[in-house]
Amino acid sequence: MTFEEFKILHNRFSKLPLPKEVWQSSEYEQYAEHLTNNSEFYEWTLTEKFKKAQFDFSEFCCLKMADKIFDGIDKNGEIDYDNVDVIMRKWKNGTYGIPIHDGGSSIIEIDYCPWCGKKLNKASR
């Protein structure tokens, strides 16, 4: 699949919710396979998502970290503490952490990105 073909399918399949017959089609399966197995296509979809939401992803060490932080914020750009599906958070003081979903506010603070391995040093915090 070419990048241009992928972009066309992405435009078609990124408008949720999709009817069951769409996500069970062979065309959708091919799109999902390329999204999963082609890092260029995957990273492009992330940057498109961030641009659409006007989310500044440039401060993060990698797009996967930016995506996980993005998943944990509300429409105002603040931490969404009610979302129990969140696996990574970044606080305004620069702390990165994995929330412990036990009903409290506990986290496991991290010093390295779980996806790219870069040190989350004080300069980027």
Query: Which of the residue ranges 57-61, 82-86, 91-95, 121-125 would you say has the lowest mean pLDDT?
Result: 121-125
Given pLDDT bands bounded at 50, 70 and 90, which one contains residue 84? confident
What is the reported pLDDT for 125? 39
What is the reported pLDDT for 80? 87
Given pLDDT bands bounded at 50, 70 and 90, which one contains residue 123? very low
Read off the pTM. 0.83
**Three-class DSSP labels, the chain:** CCHHHHHHHHHHHCCCCCCHHHHCCHHHHHHHHHHHHCHHHHHHHHHHHHHHHCCCCCCCCCHHHHHHHHHCECCCCCECCCCCCCCCEECCCCCEEEECCCCCCCEEEECECCCCCCECCCCCC
Tens digit of each residue's pLDDT (9 = 90 or more) over 56-70: 999 899 999 999 999
Query: Which of the residue ranges 22-31, 102-111, 116-125 would you say has the lowest mean pLDDT?
Result: 116-125
Tens digit of each residue's pLDDT (9 = 90 or more) over 7-48: 999 999 988 899 999 989 999 999 999 999 999 999 999 999
